[in-house]
Chain A
Amino acid sequence: MTGPLAALLSQAGTPSLPQLVLPHAPYSPAMPEILLAGGAIVVLALASLVGTRVSTYFWAACSVAGSLAAMGWTWVVLWPQVMAHGGYTTLSGSISVDGFSLLFFTLVEASVALGSLVAAAWLDREGMAGPEFYILAMLSGSGAMFMAAANDLIVVFLGLEILSIPLYILAGLNSRRSESGEAAMKYFILGAFSSAIFVYGVALTYGATGTTNLAHIAAFLASNVVTTDGLLLAGLALLFVGFSFKVAAVPFHTWTPDVYQGAPSPATGFMAAVAKAGGFAAFLRVFFSTFSTLRADWQPAIWLLAVLTLVVGAVLAVVQTDIKRMMAYSSISHAGFVLVGLYAATATGIAGSLYYLFTYALMIIGTFAVITVIGGRGDGNHHIESYRGLARRRPALALSLAVLLMAQAGVPFTTGFLGKLYVIGAVIQQHRYALGFIAMVSAVVAAFFYLRVVVVMYTPRVPAGAGRLQLAVSSVPFGRGGRRGAVPTDGGGRNGAEARVPAGTLAAVGAGGPPVGPPAPGGEAAPLAREGSQGAAGGGPGGRPGPDEERAPRVPLAVALVLVVTVAFTVGFGFFPALVVNFAHHASLVF
Chain B
Amino acid sequence: MLLYATAAIVLLPLGGFFALLVGGRRLGNPRAGWLGTGSVALSFVATAIVFGALYARPPSHRLFVQTLFSWLPVGGLHVSVAFRADPLSLVMALFVTGVSSVIHLYSIGYMEHDEQFHKFFVYFNLFVFSMLVLVLSENFVLTFLGWEGVGACSYWLIAFWFVRDSAASAGKKAFVYNRIGDFGFVVAMFFLFNATGTLTYTGVFSAARAGHIAGTTATAACLLLFMGAVGKSAQIPLYPWLLDAMEGPTPVSALIHAATMVTAGVYLMTRISPLLALSPVSSTIVAVFGVVTAFAAAAAACAQQDIKKVLAFSTVSQLGYMFFAVGSHAYTAAIFLMVTHAFYKALLFLGAGSVIHGLHDEQDLKKMGGLARYMPITAVTFFVAWFAIAGVAPFSGFWSKGDVLTTAFPQGHIMWALGEFTVALTAYYIGREFYLCFYGEERWRRLAALATASPGHGIGIEGAGEGYEPHESRPVMTVPLIALAVASFFGGFINLPIRPDWDFLSHWLAPVVGPYSYHFPLGLSWAVGLPVMDGAVALIGVAVVTALWWRRWDRPALEPMFLQRGWHLDDLYDFLVGRPGYRAAGFAADRFDPLVIDGGVNGSAGLIRRAATRVRTVQTGYVRNYALGIAIGAVAIMAWVLSRVGV
User: Could you tell me which A residues sit within 8 Å of B by CB distance?
Assistant: 185-186, 189-190, 193-194, 197, 227-230, 233-234, 236-238, 240-241, 244-245, 251-252, 254-255, 257-258, 296-298, 300-301, 312, 315-316, 318-319, 348, 421, 425, 429, 445, 477-478, 480, 496-498, 501, 505-506, 508-510, 512, 515, 527-532, 576-578, 581
Contact = CB atoms under 8 A, between A and B. Distances in A.
A228 B645 CA distance: 7
Nearest to B632: A251
B519 to A, nearest CB: 44
A228 B626 contact: no
A300 B616 contact: no
Contact of B637 (A230, A240, A315): A240
Nearest to A311: B611
Nearest to B607: A315
Contact of B621 (A240, A316, A528): A528
A91 B622 CA distance: 43
Contacts of B622: 501, 505, 508-509, 515, 529
A238 B634 contact: yes
B568 to A, nearest CB: 42
Interface string B201-217: 00000000000000000
Nearest first, the 6 A-B pairs at minimum CB distance are A529-B621, A501-B621, A254-B626, A578-B70, A251-B633, A237-B641
Which of B618, B623, B633, B647 has its CB near the most chain A CB atoms (within 10 A)?
Answer: B623
B630 A227 contact: no
A505 to B, nearest CB: 6
Interface stretch (B71-79, B147-155, B248-256, B370-378): B71-79
B316 to A, nearest CB: 36
Interface string B319-349: 0000000000000000000000000000000
Interface string B120-141: 0000000000000000000000
B73 A498 contact: no
A443 to B, nearest CB: 14
B620 interface: yes
A15 B416 CA distance: 113
B524 interface: no
Nearest to A188: B623
28 contacts: A189-B623, A189-B627, A229-B645, A230-B645, A233-B645, A234-B642, A236-B641, A238-B634, A245-B630, A251-B630, A251-B633, A254-B625, A254-B629, A255-B626, A296-B644, A297-B641, A425-B74, A496-B617, A498-B620, A506-B623, A508-B624, A509-B622, A509-B623, A515-B622, A529-B619, A529-B622, A576-B69, A576-B71
A527 B73 CA distance: 49
Contacts of A506: 623
Contact of B627 (A190, A258, A508, A529): A190
A350 B647 CA distance: 27
Given A238-B638, A501-B620, A297 B608 contact: no
Nearest to B640: A301
B621 A527 contact: yes
Nearest to B620: A498
A361 to B, nearest CB: 22
Given A241-B637, A498-B621, A512-B624, A581 B616 contact: no
Which of B70, B73, B613 has its CB near the most chain A CB atoms (within 10 A)?
Answer: B613
Dominant secondary structure at the B interface? helix
Given A316-B612, A509-B624, A254 B640 contact: no
B412 to A, nearest CB: 47
B70 A197 contact: no
A269 B624 CA distance: 26
A104 B647 CA distance: 36
Given A318-B609, A505-B623, A531-B619, 18 more contacts: A228-B645, A229-B646, A230-B642, A236-B641, A240-B641, A251-B629, A257-B619, A298-B641, A316-B616, A318-B608, A421-B74, A445-B608, A477-B609, A478-B605, A497-B617, A498-B619, A515-B622, A578-B70
Contacts of A227: 646
A163 to B, nearest CB: 18
B609 A480 contact: yes
B606 interface: yes
Contacts of A230: 642, 645-646
B56 interface: no
A203 to B, nearest CB: 15
A241 B608 contact: no
A186 B629 CA distance: 14
A362 to B, nearest CB: 20
Contacts of A498: 616-617, 619-621
B615 interface: yes
A176 B313 CA distance: 77
Nearest to B616: A531
Contact of B630 (A233, A241, A312): A241
Contact of A532 (B74, B616, B645): B616
Nearest to B644: A297
A501 B620 CA distance: 7
Contacts of B640: 237, 300-301
A193 B69 CA distance: 49
